[in-house]
Amino acid sequence: MHPGVAIGQVYLCCVPVDFRKQIDGLAALVQSELELDVFGDTLFVFVNRQRNRIKILYWHRNGFCLWQKRLEKERFAWPAPGAQATVTLTPKELEWLLEGFDLWANYPHKTLKYQSVM
């Protein structure tokens, strides 16, 4: 991303998008289908159908920026499209996703709730 960009939220679009879309098409998708503010301190992350490319759209001061990563081998881990149109990540989780970690396969230990020690 652009040096010095303050990242507030990171939204992953769960449904793969047509990667012929560029800035205008992705910004329109954010506003109309996801119903989110495209002009905030937010990153919007999109994946193609093959899950080997990611595009990240964000607003920086006076214009949009579009960042893309293409994998030569492997695929990005991605949440299954479900009831939610988007998934919210932290900037650190986005970094892990870009490095190849599957955020949806690695869960922390289950929380245990006991009533008594005996």
The tokens of 108 are what?
């922390």
Q: What pLDDT, on the 0 to 100 scale, is given for residue 2? A: 62
Per DSSP, 14 falls in state: S
Q: How far apart are CA 69 and CA 25, in angstroms?
A: 18
In a domain, 58, yes or no: yes
In a domain, 74, yes or no: yes
In a domain, 22, yes or no: yes
In a domain, 29, yes or no: yes
In a domain, 71, yes or no: yes
HSE-up of residue 32 (Cα within 13 Å, Cβ side): 6
Residues in a beta bridge with 7: none
In a domain, 112, yes or no: no
What is the residue range of 43's domain? 9-99
Q: Model-level pTM?
A: 0.84
Q: If residue 105 lies in a helix (H) or strand (E), which one and from where to where?
A: none
Q: Return the SS3 of 86.
A: strand
How many C-beta atoms lie closer than 10 Å to residue 59's C-beta?
18
In a domain, 3, yes or no: no
Question: Consecutive sets of 10 residues in the chain, 118 residues long: mean pLDDT of each?
Answer: 77 94 96 93 95 95 94 89 84 91 75 80
Q: What pLDDT, on the 0 to 100 scale, is given for residue 53? A: 96
In a domain, 39, yes or no: yes
Number of domains forming the structure of the chain: 1
Q: What pLDDT, on the 0 to 100 scale, is given for residue 85? A: 86
Q: What pLDDT, on the 0 to 100 scale, is given for residue 44? A: 97
**Residues 43, 48, 49, 53: is their CA dihedral positive or negative?**
negative
Which of 35, 38, 57 has its CA nearest to residue 46?
Answer: 57
